[in-house]
């Protein structure tokens, strides 16, 4: 079972990649899409969802592209996930049962409510400067490096 959508996975990888770039250096969606094995048009749609919250900013024209809108230490994993997928993950029943709640809980309700809150707190506290520290150069070069 995947906890994150493919879109959130691409968005997180794109933000990691942008955080490794010199400040304000723009990168085209096509250049970002290649190492992610993602269609450039799809990545452009994903990146556009990150603009309203200021996670990224874009510039049009010959040297256009996207760059981080804020410092990596000011961007959390939770922000990126919610920009792409909304808050459903933190509000839905683990089994997807409509109406599951405190009044009519599913068998996993108590466990999932507690664990979901822990996950949400971790995502809220984890910024991309922390992520960047955890991503080794070897891992980055193998999976996300682009030319």
Number of domains in the chain: 1
Instruction: Give per-residue pLDDT as tens, 2-57.
Output: 678 899 989 998 998 898 888 778 999 988 888 888 899 999 999 999 999 999 99
Q: What pLDDT shows up at residue 1?
A: 47
State the pLDDT at residue 34: 85
DSSP 117-140: HHHHHHHHH-BHHHHHHHS-HHHH
Comparing 44-53, 62-71, 74-83, 137-146, which segment has the lowest mean pLDDT?
Answer: 137-146
Percent of the chain residues topping a pLDDT of 70: 90
The CATH number of residue 67's host domain is 1.10.10.10
Residue 131: pLDDT above 60? yes
Q: Has residue 139 got a pLDDT over 70?
A: no
The whole-number pLDDT of residue 40 equals 92
94 part of a folded domain: no
| Residue 36 located in a structural domain | yes
Domain assignment of residue 66, yes or no: yes
Q: Residue written as tokens 């839905």?
A: 92
Predicted TM-score (pTM) of this structure: 0.85
In this prediction, residues 76-89 reach a mean pLDDT of 92
Domain that holds residue 59: 6-84+127-143
Residues 6+ apart with CB under 8 A from 92: none
Span of 53-57, 67-71, 104-108, 142-146 with lowest mean pLDDT? 142-146
Would you state the pLDDT for residue 81? 95
How large a percentage of the chain has pLDDT more than 90?
Answer: 45
Mean pLDDT value across the chain = 86
22 located within any domain: yes
| Token duo for residue 142 | 């193998």
Query: Does the residue 89 lie in any domain?
Result: no
């Amino acid at each position: 079972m995947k906890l994150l959508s493919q879109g959130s996975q691409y968005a997180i990888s794109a933000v990691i990649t942008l955080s490794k770039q010199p400040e304000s250096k723009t990168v085209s969606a096509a250049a970002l899409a290649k190492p992610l094995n993602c269609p450039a048009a799809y990545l452009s749609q994903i990146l556009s969802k990150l603009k309203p919250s200021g996670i990224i900013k874009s510039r049009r024209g010959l040297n256009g592209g996207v760059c981080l809108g804020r410092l990596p230490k000011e961007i959390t994993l939770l922000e990126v996930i919610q920009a792409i997928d909304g808050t459903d993950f933190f509000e839905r029943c683990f089994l997807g049962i409509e109406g599951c709640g405190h009044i009519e809980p599913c068998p996993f309700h108590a466990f999932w409510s507690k664990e979901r809150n822990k996950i949400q707190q971790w995502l809220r506290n984890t910024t991309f400067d922390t992520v960047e520290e955890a991503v080794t150069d070897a891992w980055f070069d193998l999976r996300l490096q682009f030319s």
